[in-house]
Amino acid sequence: MAEAEKILEKDHYGLADLKQRILEFIGVAKLSGSLRGSILCLVGPPGVGKTSIGKSIARALNRKFFRFSVGGIRDEAEIKGHRRTYIGAMPGKIIQALKVCQTMNPVIMLDEVDKIGSSYHGDPASALLEVLDPEQNSEFLDHYLDVRCNLSDILFIVTANMLDSIPEALVDRMEVMRLSGYIMEEKLEIAKRYLIPKNRKHMGLKATQVEFTKPALRQLINGYARESGVRTLENSIKKILRKLALEIVRQNEVVPTSKRSIKKEPAGSSYTITPEELPKYVGKPVFHSDRIYEETPVGICAGLAWTSMGGATLYVESIKIPSEKTEMKLTGQAGQVMKESSEIAWSYLHGAVHKYAPGHTFFEKSQVHIHIPEGATPKDGPSAGVTMVTSLISLLRNEPVMQDLCMTGELTLTGRVLPIGGVKEKIVAAKRSGLKVVIFPKDNLRDIEELSDEIKKGINIHFVEHYDEVFKIAFPDAELPAI
């Protein structure tokens, strides 16, 4: 157990839940003598280390490791084998894995299971049902072997970027573990402990020749590598190290003269990378502050969104234009669900205008234009409902919302605030933008309690069940009339 724990700590930083689950596997295996019925599904954005975790698990269990990608596979014979009557017939990938590993209990990783295809040849996702079902895989039948094969001692690890495209029956057979990505502090540690030493060795540089300051790494993460994983961060570090290697080689190169070649003395150059030097090596920052407004004007409210790159701050802007009839227009490449959210926000406020803006009529003879900036980026999801209502109330009352405030939550026509996803990413986005007050649905309390104190530090989180509570926080000077 101690050796397994040591391997997991050495190979990966953070991911405490996942490491705990793997140690539980080992504990159960020690007592029962097998790991039957264990299929792990690691779901998370690209670059968070799903594939490398599989290798670490195999090392921790002291088992052979075999990985193959099922992304793009369209023929179920890739899984279950071809019948021997066909030319070029061969066993399926599972039996091939056992042949390569020469053991009946390897760790087999099925990568990119959410990108599996299907065609007239068959449906590979359905073929995986028998392989990954603990009740069935002890009697697995490969068409080439035509002999029953016991797969129950294999530990299967499945990876995916999202669960939406995986058939429900397949998800049901797996234990899903989410890797939601890394926050700034975790990325700093990963860069210092793993990425810089590993790539420095690959580039042939010594530890004395290059040093990254902490502010430089912070700037690199914030300005160039803001995604959930660390792949872009590693590529940026490689880019810097390559340029340093070139400079060092140029300093030490042989200089030809007319009579003889004179070799320069090796320069004992050492480079310290500071934030000011980053543009010289990796160009101008790719990302700028998510925060568009330092002081939020009337009709504008900050929301929080989940994207494949992690979390982002999403502003909702509202203005009114004189018109013959009262109507609403939505722009900003919003998806169908978000369009419906805007209609719900419009109808809800229309019915409750006497409560939130007493003495005001509901946008009579005005066209209200709601816009979500960054129009080139498609946006969808129900979690902007409360943000849209708050933006409309701010416009109607001609009063700005509370400063440093952002919110997320799905709104119903009765004013209930329903839970949303991507809690960790959204809190990280709020911290990055310097927004100190965050409103979350009360049903997300459990998700936030599971987060570490480091992530929640410096953020004042309010939990709400009804929009009335959102209104009191967003407009602290206003009073709700007694109804």
Q: Write down the residue that tokens 């087999």 correspond to.
A: 108
Buried b (16+ CB within 10 A) or exposed e, 323-344: eeebebebebebeeebeebbeb
Helices (H), 33-144: 50-61, 77-80, 93-101, 124-132
Active site positions, annotated: 383, 426
- How far apart, in whole angstroms, are the C-alpha atoms of residue 22 and residue 66? 18
User: Do residues 263 and 358 lie in contact, with contact meaning Cβ atoms separated by under 8 Å?
Assistant: no
Helices (H), 173-277: 184-190, 196-202, 214-223, 231-252
The 3-class SS string of 150-215 reads: CCCCCEEEEEECCCCCCCHHHHCCCEEEECCCCCHHHHHHHHHHHHHHHHHHHCCCCCCCEEECHH
**Backbone dihedral angles phi then psi of residue 471, each to the nearest 5 degrees:** -60, -45
Beta-sheet pairing, 405-407 with 410-411 = unpaired
- Answer for the pair 364, 326: CB distance below 8 angstroms, yes or no: yes
Cβ-contact 44, 180 below 8 angstroms: yes
Pairwise CA distance, residues 94 & 136, whole Å:
15
Cα(297)–Cα(106) distance, rounded to whole angstroms?
Answer: 60
What token pair was written down for 258? 């007319």
Structure tokens at 25: 């596997």
DSSP code, position 402: P
For 475, the token pair is 């407009």
The torsion angles phi and psi of 88, rounded to 5 degrees, stand at 75, 20
CB 476 within 8 A of CB 445: no
- CA 64 – CA 366 distance, rounded (Å): 69
Q: State the angle between helix axes of 467-474 and 336-356 in degrees (0 to 180), rounded to the nearest 10.
A: 70
